[in-house]
Each structure stands twice: as C-alpha cells, then as structure tokens.
Structure 1
Amino acid sequence: MIILVGGMLAATIPAITHAATPSFDVEAATRAYLDLLQGPARTKSDAYFEGGYWLPLWSTLVSSLIYLPLLFTGVSQRLRTYAERKTKRRWLVPAVYALPFVALTTLLNLPWMIYEGFVREKQYGLMNQTFASWTVDAAKAFGIGLIINALLFMLVFWVIRHFRRSWWLIGTGVAAVVVMLGALIAPVFIAPLFNKYTELPAGAVRDRIVAIAVANHIPAGHIYVSDASRQTKRISANVSGVGPTIHITLNDNLLERTAPEEVVAVMGHEMGHYVLNHIWTLILSFTLVFLAMFFVVSRLAPALIVRNPQWGVRDVADPAATPLLLLLAGLCGLVLTPVLNSITRHNEVEADVFGLDAAREPDGFAKVAMRLSEYRKISPGPVEEMLFFDHPSGENRVRRSMQWKKDHVTGATVVMPGPIAGK
C-alpha cells in the first residue's frame, strides 16, 4: 500500500527491529522515489552528469596543449636556466622553477578553469557565487597551490636525483606520506580559508548526530557547519581529518534544504567512512595506483627525453622535464579513471550500508539520493556506472534503502514522497 503523507515524507518511521516485512514491495517503493525525477529536470540532470564524462578527456587534452609547447619551444628549459641563476643550491632549483611554471600554466589553463569551474556550474544552476567571488576563491587556491607545488617539486626531484633507478618506487612512498599529511592539515589550515565554520546549534538534530557518533566511538566534541551555500547549491557532509584533526562537518545546504531525517541519514553515511577506516584503505589503494603510474612514467620519460634533444632537457632529474612528467602522469590518470572510480564507489557502498544501520532512516537516505540527482544521473546502465560513477547511482541507493527498510522495519509500508524541488 502506498501512503501519501501530506505531500511530504513522514517525519518518523516504525520501530526498528530485525524482523522483515515480506509483504513490502521494494521495487514499488523504489519506483515511488525514482518517479520524482521526470521531464525537464531529469533531462537536465542527465545532461550535466553525462557531460562530465568528457571532462577528464578535455582536461587532459588542454594540459597536452600547454605542456607540449613548453617543451618544444624551449620555455621549460629557459625556466630551468632561470632557476639555476637564482640559486646555487641544487636542491632548491626545482622550487624556484615551480614558481614561474605554476604561474604560467595556470594562466594558460585559465579559460578552461573558468568554463569548468564557473560557467558550466552556472549554466546548470548549481553555482551561487558571482564571478568576482569565484575569482577570489580561485586566487586563494592559486596562492596555496604555488606554495605546495614548490615544496612538492623540490621533494620529487630530490628523490629522482638520489634514486635514479628506483625513484618511482621511493616516489610512491613519498606520495602516500604527502596524501596523509594533506588529510591531517587540510581540515584545520586550508578549509577555513574558503569557508566559515561554526558549531552546529544545540537541538534535536545535533543530539541525534552526537548519539550516533558516541555509539560508534567517533569524537563528537565539535560538529561544524560550513557556509557552502555562498558558493554552491550542493549538499554535503564529511568526517574529515586524521587523529587530532578529525572534524564532523556538514554544510548549511544540508541543513536548509533537507528534513532532519535526511541530515541524520547523511551523517550516518559519513561516519561510516570513519568507522570503516576508509581514509586508510583509500590511501593504500591510491598508493598502488600511484605505483603503477610512476612506474610507467619512469620507463617512458627517459626514452622520450633521449629522442628529443631539441627540448633541452638533460635527463629525468632535470626540472625542465616537468611538463613531460606531468603529461605522462595525466595520461595514466585518464586511463586509470575507471579504476579510481571503482575504488571510491566500493567504499561509498560500504558507507551506505553502515549509515542505514547507524541512522536507521531509510526514507531519509532515499530522499537525499533523489536530491543528489540534481547533478548525478539517477539511473545509469551497469557498465556506465562502473566506468563513470565514483558514487553508487541514485537508483541503487534508493533500492538499497528500501531493501533495508523491508529487512529491518516491522510493518513497513511504501511511502509516496513529496517533490524534491523547492528546498
């Protein structure tokens, strides 16, 4: 039986037990949610997400059109020579090289950055910023990137210079350490540069989030809300950081655009990432991907340098080789995109399952899955989902929620949810 509750979801669900409700129709319940996305709204959602399938390819092409001319025109060689004139310390040369290199490539890539990061988001109604405000954030990101890249260039070329045969192996370990440091530092020192973080006010929602956190041994002394609505319409939350920098954070869109049961459902999912140690499994998985990527680059780059003396690149330890190394790494990353998506998607499925058990809000999670359809295709084919989705599709998430409801809610009934638009 389908129940319409005032055009909206019911505020509560029946008591949770381990007894199934055999008469509950999972497919009918799933279809009730999927039918919320019809007509122009579904066409727009599909168009946005399917357009994103091509973005990694176009980004790689744009990078190629930047990096190759820097090699063939000798610009990279001249930047290296400039860096060597500025400092006699060999270990510091890559850092000095990085400053004009990052500035130049950012400038050349700026039209694509504006289209991908601002114009396209504005076109599909997801961007809340003005271009001026977006530019300020982009300038901050550039400044941070300039410093980080200078340090990374210095570190990477030190490794290549000192471990000529095995730099790809040592470099993989260094990359893993850098990722861990980023996870440790970013929530405290970088994220606040782009958004304001305030404590979630006391109330029923906070009480439920704290209860779930305490039950799963997650530090819940602070629960933060970010003012993401000044930038985007997207809803999100996360448990970020490592060790002493662990943060429970939800953005204000989640609070303002969803019902309390949806907020709790999302936070249950995010806490699943923490409890299941996904940050560590992701670091390990991505380290293996880095290993394959660095190995390929270490084999191709020296051969290409030898065959192209006109580049003026001495060897793979020369900072002037940077455009070539980045181009090869980008091509490897493009090829490995489905692998990276599958790794992330597997963790997201595990967090979905955990969140349903922890929050016990199957209809809340299903409703959130439908809200995410604003920018995620709701019903892809199996191969399409495997190749292009780094999260489970909305249809699979809704069906999983309804199956959980059948398996755990005594007397479960199919709810006819209200429209997702308007919040």
Structure 2
Amino acid sequence: MIRKWAMRAIIAYLLFGIAIFLYLFYWADTSIPEALKGTSADPATFLNGRELELSEEYSRIRNLMFFLATPYEWLFYYLVLILGLSAIFENSAKHISKFFVVRNAIYLFWLSFASLVVMFPLSFLSYTISKSYNISTQVFSAWMKDKLIDFWVQYATMLVVVTVLYALMRKFKRRWWLAAWVVSIPFSIIMMFIQPVVIDPLYNDFYPLKDKQLEAKILAIAKEANIPANHVYEVDMSTKTNSLNAYVTGVGSNSRIVLWDTTLERLSDDEILFIMAHEMGHYVEKHIYKGIAGYLLLSFVGLWLTAKLLDKWISKRGKDWKVEKLTNIGSLPAFLLITSILLFVASPLTNWVSRYQETRADTYAIKMTHDKEAGIKTFQSLTKSGLSQVNPPLLVKIFRYEHPTMLERINRIEDYKIDDTSSED
C-alpha cells in the first residue's frame, strides 16, 4: 500500500510537470497586444533580437523551475511521512536525549538536512541556469556559502518556532492553533526589527553610500516622505548578480534605505531617485503595516485550517506513518505540507494585493518625481538586466508575480497625466 501511494504521488508530480512544461513552452501567449506594439512598453523597442530571444528562453525556464519546485517540496514531505522516515528521525532523537528541546533540535536537523539534500538538485540547476544566462555572477564556493548560511539561519528560526509550536500543542489540546497565532504576532514584529541589522549582513556587506551628492538627494525625498533615515546604504551585489534592485527595509529606528551597487553602476541619478521614490511610496502608504495586518488575518485562517486538516490526517493516517499523535514531533512534515499547500492556494490573492500596492507605489513615484522618462527607462533597464518577460503568461502572473508586469507598469507611466495631478497637489 505504501509503495502504491508513493508511486501515485511521483506519477502525479511527473504529469503535473509535463502539463506545466507544455503550457509554458507551447500553449501560453506572451505576445504584445497589437495596440502596444512600437510603444515604450514593447520590448522590441529597447531590446535587440538576441536579448528578446534570451528573455523568452530564460523566463520560461525560470517559470518552469518555480512551478516544479513547490510541488517537489510537497512530494518530499509526503514521502517522508508515508515511507516512515519521519518516525525514524523521531526515534533517533528519543534515543539520544530525553529533553524535549534537544529532541526537537535533533529531529529538525535530520529533517532539514534531508530537505537540503533532496532540494539541492533543483537549487543547483537554478543557479547553473542563472550563470549560463549571465544573470548570476556568483562563483560556486560563494553560492554554497550562502546555501549553508541559509540552512543554519532557517534551522535556528525553525527550531524556535517548532519548539514553541509543539509546546503549545501539548498545553492547549484543542486551541493550540489560536495560541500559536497569538505568539506569532510579537515574533513576526521582532523578526522585522532584526532582519536588516542581524540577518541581512550575514549574506552581504552593507556600507554607507559613497556618492554623497546622491545620498543627499535621496535623504531629501526621504525627509519629505517622513522616513526616519539618516544614511543610505549600498550593498555589494555585483559579485552575485547582474540584476538591479533597491529597497527600504525595517521599521522605526531600524529603517534602512538600501541600493544594490549594480543599480548605482547602471542607472542615472534620475532613475535611481525614481526607484527610491517608489520604495518610499510603500512607506508613505503604510504598506508594511497593512502587510502585517493582512498576514495576521491570513495566518489566523491558515492556522485554523491547518489544525482541522492536521487532526483529521493524523487520525486517519497516523498509524500508517508511525506517528501516534498530533503532539509527536514526527507530525511536523504533515504540518509543513499542509501550510505550504495553503500558502500556494492563497498566493493568487496575496500576489494580487501586492501588485495593487506596487501600482500605488509606482503612482507615488511619478507624483513625487514628475519624471515619466526616468520611470520608463528604469523599468526597461530592469527588464533588460533580469531578462524578464514583459508580458508573462496568465498563470505565471497569478501565482508568481508580486509586481505588475513590465507591460502594465511601463504602459501606465506612458499614459499617466502629470500635469493633471501636479495641479491638484
């Protein structure tokens, strides 16, 4: 029976992969609408023939990798359960220590290590593809270093989360999900404070912006946006990627304005100011706090659903998996599987909200800078540096895109009437 269900899961995954491949490479329409051909949103106007070909190739491959990776993770958790590996990890932890926290640490290490090994081929393939298309500039040793940092940061974070979660499961038999939701609120806020000053520097070197004239211009618009920042940071990303980016991170006194060095090297001051105005638009529109509120609502519903499904699943299949009860750490793969599926199901909604907020930030940037040309050139440069599809397939946009498509962003700027808004302001 176990082999039967394992084979069914593997076959289902392979069939899904074939369907997604056919959709992305043969069925999906990524052509530019006739009405927009020849406009600034048409990639043929700012990419040469080879770049157009590469952007389509690279985007299709990256989209395929995205759709294969998430179900691959589900397959891993499912096989860990039905093949009894979770029970083996748990028994190993029990034999080594009698202490709850130590057992959790041992079990989580084995599960995390197994996940690292199983997911490594996809990660390495993704890295290799990025290198072959000259998106990634990172040498293998540096890439592996980041992977190991990722492993230990995620392990440490998960150890705290899992230990608290299963302690709550033991204490609150029926309402553990509600207790977990309440505890997640301060934890999420703490993580937002420590992310820019503790975790981010583990991966990259951050230092004050060398161009003090540009820094003065950025801080001037930051002051106008009431962002409590006294410095602008640049980060050495050119050793890792040819892509461009800039962002505002953290909350309160831990807020940081950050520019990738690739952005500084390739964009003009006006284009950089447009990007920064966009990022500051998120701050002005209070998207961080709205995002926290949305997260709390979704996590409330998600944890409630997870509790219901997990309880039924363990009751019906627990004996087959050698997981006696919900409070056993061996049930963790089932918890992770359910939450991952729910997050994927919710992604069309969360992505839609994110795209709406990004549109608002784009509008704020135009209002603040009054520079449509800089905005259009910025998005064209982002498209070129990342070999992005200007008009991606519908399923890709729904499940993957947290930003509007470049077609939408460039066309919206092109049609925006600055004089009308500036007279109102």
TM-score, normalised via structure 1 length: 0.83
Match of 1:313 in 2: 323
- Residue pair 1:213, 1:271 contacting (<8 A) in 2 also: yes
Match of 1:159 in 2: 168
Question: 2: distance between equivalents of 1:158 and 1:59?
Answer: 31
Match of 1:231 in 2: 240
Question: 1: distance between equivalents of 2:410 and 2:83?
Answer: 54
Deviations 1:286-312 (A, max 9, x none): 232223332222122222222221211
1:37-116 superposed matches below 5 A: 37=47, 39-90=49-100, 93-116=103-126
Kindly indicate whether residue 311 of structure 2 is the aligned counterpart of residue 299 of structure 1: no
CA RMSD, aligned part only? 2.5
Q: What is the one-letter code of the residue matched to 1:36? A: F
1:20-419 superposed matches below 5 A: 30=40, 35-37=45-47, 39-90=49-100, 93-116=103-126, 118-308=127-317, 309-373=319-383, 374-380=386-392, 385-404=397-416, 406-407=418-419
- Residue pair 2:228, 2:253 contacting (<8 A) in 1 also: no
- Residue pair 1:265, 1:364 contacting (<8 A) in 2 also: yes
Match of 1:8 in 2: none
Q: What is the one-letter code of the residue matched to 1:278? A: H
- Count residues with an aligned counterpart: 385
> What secondary structure does 1:268 align onto?
helix
Question: 1: distance between equivalents of 2:204 and 2:212?
Answer: 23
Q: What is the one-letter code of the residue matched to 1:375? A: L
TM-score, normalised via structure 2 length: 0.83
Kindly state the Cα deviation for residue 159 of structure 1 after the two structures are TM-superposed: 2.2
Kindly state the Cα deviation for residue 252 of structure 1 after the two structures are TM-superposed: 0.3
Question: 2: distance between equivalents of 1:319 and 1:301?
Answer: 13
- Residue pair 2:170, 2:327 contacting (<8 A) in 1 also: yes
Deviations 1:358-406 (A, max 9, x none): 2332211111111221333213477764444210111221122223355
Deviations 1:402-423 (A, max 9, x none): 233553599xxxxxxxxxxxxx
Q: What is the one-letter code of the residue matched to 2:168? A: V
- Residue pair 1:95, 1:151 contacting (<8 A) in 2 also: no
Q: What is the one-letter code of the residue matched to 2:334? A: L
* More divergent stretch after superposition (72-81 vs 373-382): 373-382
- When residues 200 and 340 of structure 1 are mapped into structure 2, their CA distance, relative to the original with a 3 A threshold, is same
Deviations 1:289-345 (A, max 9, x none): 223332222122222222221211122221100111111222222222212211211
- When residues 244 and 31 of structure 1 are mapped into structure 2, their CA distance, relative to the original with a 3 A threshold, is closer
Percent of aligned pairs sharing the same letter = 25
Deviations 1:225-284 (A, max 9, x none): 000111011111111012221111111011001111111100001111112211111122
> What secondary structure does 2:238 align onto?
helix
Question: 2: distance between equivalents of 1:388 and 1:379?
Answer: 13
Q: Structure 1: where are the runs of 5+ without partners?
A: 1-25, 411-423
- Residue pair 1:272, 1:350 contacting (<8 A) in 2 also: yes
Question: 2: distance between equivalents of 1:86 and 1:214?
Answer: 56
Q: What is the one-letter code of the residue matched to 2:303? A: F
Q: Structure 2: where are the runs of 5+ without partners?
A: 1-35
* More divergent stretch after superposition (26-35 vs 331-340): 26-35
Question: 2: distance between equivalents of 1:48 and 1:33?
Answer: 15
> What secondary structure does 2:135 align onto?
coil
Question: 2: distance between equivalents of 1:382 and 1:89?
Answer: 50
Question: 2: distance between equivalents of 1:55 and 1:166?
Answer: 38
Q: What is the one-letter code of the residue matched to 2:196? A: P
Question: 2: distance between equivalents of 1:372 and 1:289?
Answer: 31
Question: 1: distance between equivalents of 2:297 and 2:227?
Answer: 28
Q: What is the one-letter code of the residue matched to 2:93? A: A
- Residue pair 2:215, 2:231 contacting (<8 A) in 1 also: no
Question: 2: distance between equivalents of 1:178 and 1:396?
Answer: 36
Kindly state the Cα deviation for residue 202 of structure 1 after the two structures are TM-superposed: 4.2
- When residues 287 and 409 of structure 1 are mapped into structure 2, their CA distance, relative to the original with a 3 A threshold, is closer
Deviations 1:72-101 (A, max 9, x none): 232211222232344433355323321222
Question: 2: distance between equivalents of 1:136 and 1:58?
Answer: 24
**Higher relative CO (CA 8 A, sep ≥ 6), structure 1 or 2?**
1
Q: Which has the higher helix share?
A: 2
- Residue pair 1:27, 1:399 contacting (<8 A) in 2 also: no
* More divergent stretch after superposition (144-153 vs 186-195): 144-153
Deviations 1:146-168 (A, max 9, x none): 21121111112122222222223
